[in-house]
């Protein structure tokens, strides 16, 4: 995490969004895998995670954020809920350890896990 001053404020993020009837803040900037994406201080951020942290506080990297509105490019912190899917997945892995273990790449929260040929992505 770069110095706080390099990060946008929640209002700056919001000003780069289009609001819809459901209260979504739909990101107008770059998108990666459907999610709002932005770059500050040489680092990439997922817009919804950044918005959540700015609005509600620190979000550990291994905690999943889900969109209640099912719009990946929405960054309204009030449309985001933490954890449930990740917790479910972790319960599943404890009960059924995946062959070859859990593979994690650089940033620690993006992983890919294969179970019986079906792939589950943790974002």
Nearer to Zn ion, 28 or 62 (CB): 28
Strand partners, 114: 119
Q: How far is the CB of 22 from Zn ion (least distance, A)?
A: 6
Q: How far is the CB of 76 from Zn ion (least distance, A)?
A: 5
In angstroms, rounded to a whole number, what is the distance separating the alpha carbons of residues 56 and 110? 22
Q: How far is the CB of 55 from Zn ion (least distance, A)?
A: 13
In angstroms, rounded to a whole number, what is the distance separating the alpha carbons of residues 64 and 24? 19
List, in order, residues 6 or more apart from 72 with CB less than 8 Å away.
33, 34, 35, 48
Residues contributing to the site for Zn ion (CB under 5 A): 24, 69, 71, 74, 76, 79
Nearer to Zn ion, 45 or 113 (CB): 45
């Amino acid at each position: 995490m770069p110095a706080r001053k390099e990060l946008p404020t929640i209002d700056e993020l919001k000003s780069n969004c289009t609001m819809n009837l459901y209260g979504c803040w739909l990101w107008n900037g770059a998108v990666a895998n459907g999610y709002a994406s932005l770059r500050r201080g040489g680092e990439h951020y997922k817009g919804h995670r950044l918005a959540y942290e700015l609005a509600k506080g620190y979000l550990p990297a291994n905690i999943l954020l889900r969109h209640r509105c099912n719009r990946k490019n929405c960054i309204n912190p009030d449309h985001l809920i933490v954890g449930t899917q990740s917790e479910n997945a972790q319960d599943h892995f404890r009960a059924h350890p995946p062959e070859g273990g859990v593979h994690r790449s650089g940033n620690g929260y993006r992983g890919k896990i294969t179970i019986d040929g079906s792939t589950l992505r943790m974002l």
